[in-house]
């Protein structure tokens, strides 16, 4: 699709709460925003989707083009994506299905949208089938910076637990051929962690150091923990550079090492900082 056509669909979608006319009239359309694998820039495309077993499923067809579309290459590098669906928008983790699950989902998609079956028949590459997983978040009102910190910590803990269990199953051989599930979640967790610690180092810690000089030692210790955790996380990301998880045993060991450090860090940070953060409104008041 030429860019200008894409953009007009995106504009119409956003202006009409997710409804689009013309060739898409009545079809199920969502907007997917990925982060450029190389550029780091946001990249939005309108995509048809199918709901199967409660999951949002999209196919990386790009018609019968020989290469995977840009958005698919992007989500392999950055699995956290933004989904706009109707008037709603949320973050999701993009996980390409593999093996029997891919076959099953593709068949379900082709039943609803037979065009994909035609595309598959006319191209050499296996069209990737991507599940946009919406992480379950406890719905809790965020009113202070303490609430916000706890919300992010809850997400990190949940992702870490998932990744540890998945790595365990992978090593135990129960999950042969499901490497991408582990890889995408592990990468999403690492990105979330990087983002969170960067925000703390750049904004929250300096502000607290200023307003609460008595926290200086604790903040130094927390920053040092960020650096230790960051080193382990970088090693993990390096292990995940390929599409296949080559060394599941080593990956599991690294994830466990990270888990020990991170769990101690989150607990210490909450004990030291939550009382001060509870008095700071979030989102910030103008």
Residues binding Fe ion (CB under 5 A): 200, 269
The Cα 73–Cα 65 span in angstroms is 14
Nearer CB in complex with Fe ion: 97/188: 188
Q: Are 70 and 43 in contact (CB under 8 A)?
A: yes
Pick the closer one to Fe ion by CB: 123 or 194: 194
For Fe ion, give the closer residue by CB, 77 or 259: 259
Give yes or no for a contact between 105 and 97, defined as CB atoms under 8 angstroms apart. yes
Q: What is the DSSP string of 203-271?
A: IIHHHHHHH-GGGHHHHHHHHHHHHHHHHHHHHHHHHTSSSS-S-HHHHHHHHHHHHHHHHHHHHHHHH
Q: How far is the CB of 100 from Fe ion (least distance, A)?
A: 39
Closest contact distance (angstroms) between CB of 269 and Fe ion is 5
Spatial contact of 44 and 31, defined as CB atoms under 8 Å apart: yes
φ, ψ of residue 83 in degrees (nearest 5): -115, 130
Q: How far is the CB of 213 from Fe ion (least distance, A)?
A: 19
Question: C-beta of 62: minimal distance to Fe ion in Å?
Answer: 39
Of residues 210 and 286, the one with the C-beta less far from Fe ion? 210
Handedness of CA 141, 51, 74, 178 (dihedral sign): positive
- Of 84 and 269, the one with the shorter C-beta distance to Fe ion is 269
Residue 263 CB, shortest distance to Fe ion, in Å, is 12
Nearer to Fe ion, 166 or 200 (CB): 200
**What does the alpha-carbon distance between residue 106 and residue 132 come to, in Å, rounded to a whole number?**
14
How would you class 223 by CB atoms within 10 Å of its CB: exposed for 0-12, middle for 13-18, buried for 19 or more?
A: middle
Whole-angstrom distance, CA of residue 32 vs CA of residue 74: 11
- Measured from the CB atom, the residue of 107 and 267 that comes closer to Fe ion is 267
| DSSP line for 184-202 | HHHHHHHHHHHHHHHHIII
**Minimal distance, residue 221 CB to Fe ion, in Å:** 11
Residue 61: which of 53, 72, 77, 50 has the closest Cα? 72
Q: Least distance (Å) from Fe ion to the CB of residue 190?
A: 14
């Amino acid at each position: 699709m030429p860019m200008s056509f894409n953009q007009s669909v995106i504009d119409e979608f956003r202006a009409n709460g997710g409804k689009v006319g013309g060739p898409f009239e009545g079809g199920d359309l969502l907007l997917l925003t990925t982060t450029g694998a190389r550029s780091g820039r946001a990249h939005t495309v309108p995509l048809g989707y199918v709901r199967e077993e409660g999951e949002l499923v999209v196919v990386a067809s790009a018609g019968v083009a020989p290469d995977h579309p840009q958005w698919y290459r992007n989500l392999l590098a950055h699995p956290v994506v933004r989904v706009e669906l109707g008037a709603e928008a949320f973050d999701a983790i993009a996980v390409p299905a593999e093996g029997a699950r891919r076959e099953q989902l593709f068949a379900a998609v082709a039943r609803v949208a037979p065009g994909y079956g035609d595309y598959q028949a006319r191209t050499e590459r296996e069209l990737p089938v991507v599940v946009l997983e919406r992480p379950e978040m406890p719905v809790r009102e965020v009113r202070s910076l303490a609430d916000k910190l706890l919300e992010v910590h809850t997400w990190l803990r949940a992702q870490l637990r998932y990744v540890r269990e998945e790595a365990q199953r992978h090593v135990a051989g129960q999950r042969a051929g499901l490497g991408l599930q582990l890889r995408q979640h592990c990468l999403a967790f690492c990105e979330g962690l990087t983002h969170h610690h960067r925000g703390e180092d750049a904004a929250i810690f300096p502000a607290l150091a200023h307003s609460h000089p008595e926290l200086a030692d604790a903040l130094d210790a927390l920053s040092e923990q960020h650096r230790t955790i960051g080193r382990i996380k970088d090693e993990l990301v390096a292990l995940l550079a390929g599409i296949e998880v080559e060394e599941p045993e080593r990956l599991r060991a690294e994830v466990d090492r990270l888990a020990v450090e991170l769990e101690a860090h989150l607990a210490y940070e909450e004990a030291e900082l939550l009382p001060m953060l509870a008095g700071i409104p979030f989102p910030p008041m103008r």
